[in-house]
């Protein structure tokens, strides 16, 4: 799963019908479908930042789902404002491949979205 999260976060979803949606707090608005759509989502994030780094720091596994807590570091492009944040990526899997990926700003929301409520 670490590999899937890393590839998805870098814009490489694993199935042609993969779906990505933004969360309410995301600076990038929209819904992205398919491999090109996921790449577009990641490219929009990267275009808004300089020196962006994303690192997973926690994995919560379910049968066909996983939530990954990730930390962001970087600077806003143009403004130079430092960016530090923690997000929760909710992944749905089919046959071990990512079919849906959605970032959430709140852990509980991400867990609920994929049926892993605490």
Give per-residue pLDDT as tens, 39-59.
777 777 677 778 888 899 999
- CATH domain 2-107 topology: Nuclear Transport Factor 2; Chain: A, (3.10.450)
Residue ranges per domain, the chain? Answer: 2-107
pTM: 0.69
CA dihedral over 17, 18, 24, 28, signed as positive or negative: negative
Are 102 and 21 spatial neighbours (Cβ–Cβ below 8 Å)? yes
pLDDT at residue 70 in the model? 92
Which residues lie closer than 8 Å to 80 by C-beta, 6 or more apart?
50
Both tokens of 110, joined, read: 């991400």
Q: What is the pLDDT of residues 18-44, one digit of tens each?
A: 555 555 555 556 666 666 776 777 777
Other beta carbons within 10 angstroms of residue 91's beta carbon come to 26
């Amino acid at each position: 799963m670490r590999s899937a999260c890393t590839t998805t976060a870098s814009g490489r979803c694993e199935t042609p019908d993969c779906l990505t949606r933004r969360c309410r707090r995301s600076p990038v608005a929209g819904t992205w479908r398919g491999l090109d759509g996921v790449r577009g989502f990641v490219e929009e994030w990267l275009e808004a930042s300089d020196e962006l780094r994303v690192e997973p720091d926690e994995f919560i596994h379910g049968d066909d789902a996983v939530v990954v807590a990730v930390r962001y570091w970087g600077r806003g492009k143009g403004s130079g404002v430092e960016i530090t944040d923690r997000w929760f990526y909710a992944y749905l899997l089919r046959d071990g491949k990512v079919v849906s990926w959605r970032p959430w700003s709140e852990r509980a929301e991400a867990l609920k979205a994929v049926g892993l409520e605490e």
